[in-house]
């Protein structure tokens, strides 16, 4: 049965040669080598051209060797989905980073579960830190979110000029704003109060 090797690097300036050499040094004779170069680790495994091509070529019961776990997916969820897909085809997956552990074996699945749990905890801690930081900034009176591209005085002027007859497009061009931004500014000045609508319709 054939042994497939897979490597990935994020930029065109990098090369997967070192990963291929590392797999060879670990004692694996790779029959088919696939590598995605210039592909970010944020891209899901099956959206990487060479990875997808490899999956279409590797046969049930064969072996896939990678150097690190992140070669198999963008995050714990994606890695887990990739592993389950390979395990269903009885493809042995070797990750050198884990000490040549076959992560489709019972011990490997336990390791994968632990790694996924750690990744989930890290995400939760990141969310908690972000929320704490936002709450602290708000308490200190800092303005959150994207800064406004117009001053309060400019917004008043834009609303008045639109009410006087100037078009949304002309105002957007002059102030360097999108039409949607101008419409949000002038909306309060152009909405007819509900009471007035009722009087007109009676």
Q: Which residues are catalytic?
A: 10
* Cβ atoms < 10 Å from Cβ of 36: 23
d(CA 44, CA 42): 6
d(CA 34, CA 143): 49
* Cβ atoms < 10 Å from Cβ of 143: 9
Residue bearing tokens 């008045």: 160
Which whole-number Å values give the CA distances from 116 to 41, 93, 110, 126, 130, in the listed order?
A: 17, 17, 10, 15, 21
For β-strands 101-102 and 92-95, DSSP reports them as antiparallel
Please report which residue ranges of 7-105 form alpha helices under DSSP H.
Answer: 17-25, 49-57, 76-88
d(CA 122, CA 145): 24
């Amino acid at each position: 049965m054939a042994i497939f090797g897979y490597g990935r690097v994020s930029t065109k300036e990098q090369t997967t040669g070192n990963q291929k050499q590392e797999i060879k040094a670990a004692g694996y004779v790779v029959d088919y080598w696939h590598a995605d170069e210039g592909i970010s680790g944020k891209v899901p495994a099956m959206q990487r051209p060479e990875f997808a091509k490899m999956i279409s070529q590797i046969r049930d019961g064969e072996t896939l060797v990678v150097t690190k776990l992140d070669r198999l997916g963008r995050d714990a969820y994606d890695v887990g989905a990739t592993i389950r897909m390979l395990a269903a085809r009885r493809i042995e997956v070797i990750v050198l980073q884990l000490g040549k552990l076959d992560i489709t074996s019972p011990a490997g699945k336990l390791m994968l579960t632990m790694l996924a749990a750690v990744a989930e905890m890290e995400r939760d801690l990141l969310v908690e830190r972000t929320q704490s930081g936002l709450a602290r900034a708000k308490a200190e009176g800092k303005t959150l979110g994207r800064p406004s591209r117009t001053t309060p005085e400019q917004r008043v002027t834009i609303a008045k000029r639109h009410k006087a007859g100037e078009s949304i497009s002309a105002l957007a061009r002059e102030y360097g704003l999108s039409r949607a931004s101008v419409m949000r500014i002038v909306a309060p000045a152009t909405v007819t109060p509900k009471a007035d609508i009722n009087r007109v319709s009676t």
